[in-house]
Amino acid sequence: MIWFIKKPNARDPWGIRLSVGSTLLATQGLGYARAYYARAYIDRTLERLGIRYGAHQVSIGRADFCVDVLAPDFELNPENFIIHSHANRADFLTAEEEGVRSNGKSGRFTGVTVGKSGGRQVTIYDKRRQVIDTHKPIWWDIWNANLERDGLPPLDPTDRSQSQVWRIEVRAGKAILKDRWQIAQWGEFDAQFGDVVAEAFQKVRYAEPDPTDTNRARWPNHPIWDMAAAEAEGDLSEMRSHLDPDKVRYVHRNEHIRLIMAQLTGNAITLAALQGVPEPQLADHMETLSDRLSEVIRADPERAANKLSEAKGRYRFME
């Protein structure tokens, strides 16, 4: 776990950021990271630092899920991705040693990323090559431990023909977590992150081309894609609500309206009490208050329009 602590800034309330890497998840498991690190360990550390915070001061900025697949015979082809016409796609190819961005040169594709940072990204990349290039030998131990558990021989890092591991990864940034799924805090994450990943595997697909069908949307999933999606479904089954994100937004929208109406009523009654309105006249006073609010808006329509626009931007899920 990596901690980033910024100098206090009144204009930026997010002074502490934490990052939990894939090595911790691979060695200890998702449950350990969620229950121990993301809760008890963080709480104890912040307490020792003298930092107090409430649940509303926690925000999840990004969450990733990945599956490593041993597939020596798999050849990555960027054109086999089925994606929305407006989606971004970055392709990476390599010669024997040097990795470069796809630009028409010959070589082997080592990675494809669909989507933008901060939103939804789905990527397949050569994890074996990354482990070698970044000098992270612990991954050979992790993979070999899993192979040993299944009664299979260990990988030989020097032989790509039998040690080629591909990583399929879903990355969900704040634009997906918060804006689309209303996930900002731990309880929401625990209940819905599986839905976020399942949707990503549906929105972006790596397909098996069908030469007899010109409609790419009908091409079936490649087995490697179905394998990764099945692993995600199994690992994250307890983190699924099976709700459509539009339904989630609808529920949150109505709850927010209910809370604001309760606040408006309470404030209006408090104002009436301060103005000495007797109880029998309370209902009539509310009608008068409505007229007074209308007069305020008509007196400065430009300011009222700006306030309305700001509120719509602040509560995008209400659209």
291-308 pLDDT tens trace? 888 988 999 989 888 888
Distance (Å, whole) CA 9 – CA 29: 35
Q: How many CB atoms lie within 10 A of CB 12?
A: 9
The predicted pLDDT at position 247 comes to: 65
**More confidently predicted of 30 and 211:** 211
Average pLDDT over residues 104-116: 79
The predicted pLDDT at position 203 comes to: 94
The region that residue 281 occupies, defined by phi over 0 for left and psi between -120 and 50 for alpha, beta otherwise, is: alpha
116: phi then psi, degrees, rounded to nearest 5: -110, 150
Average pLDDT over residues 2-6: 85
Give the pLDDT confidence of 128-159 residue by residue, as tens digits.
999 999 999 999 999 999 999 999 999 999 99
Asked whether residue 103 carries a pLDDT value surpassing 50, the answer given is no
Q: E strand or H helix at 119, and its extent? A: none
Give the pLDDT confidence of 247-289 residue by residue, as tens digits.
666 656 676 677 678 778 888 888 888 889 898 888 888 888 8
Please enumerate in sequence order all residues whose Cβ is within 8 A of that of 136, keeping only pairs 6 or more positions apart, or say none.
23, 130
Distance (Å, whole) CA 222 – CA 79: 13
The closest alpha carbon to 76, from 132, 114, 26, belongs to 114
Distance (Å, whole) CA 238 – CA 194: 8
Please enumerate in sequence order all residues whose Cβ is within 8 A of that of 164, keeping only pairs 6 or more positions apart, or say none.
70, 71, 72, 74, 126, 128
Distance (Å, whole) CA 119 – CA 127: 22
The predicted pLDDT at position 61 comes to: 87
Q: What dihedral angle (degrees, nearest 10) is formed by the CA atoms of 30, 32, 38, 43?
A: 170
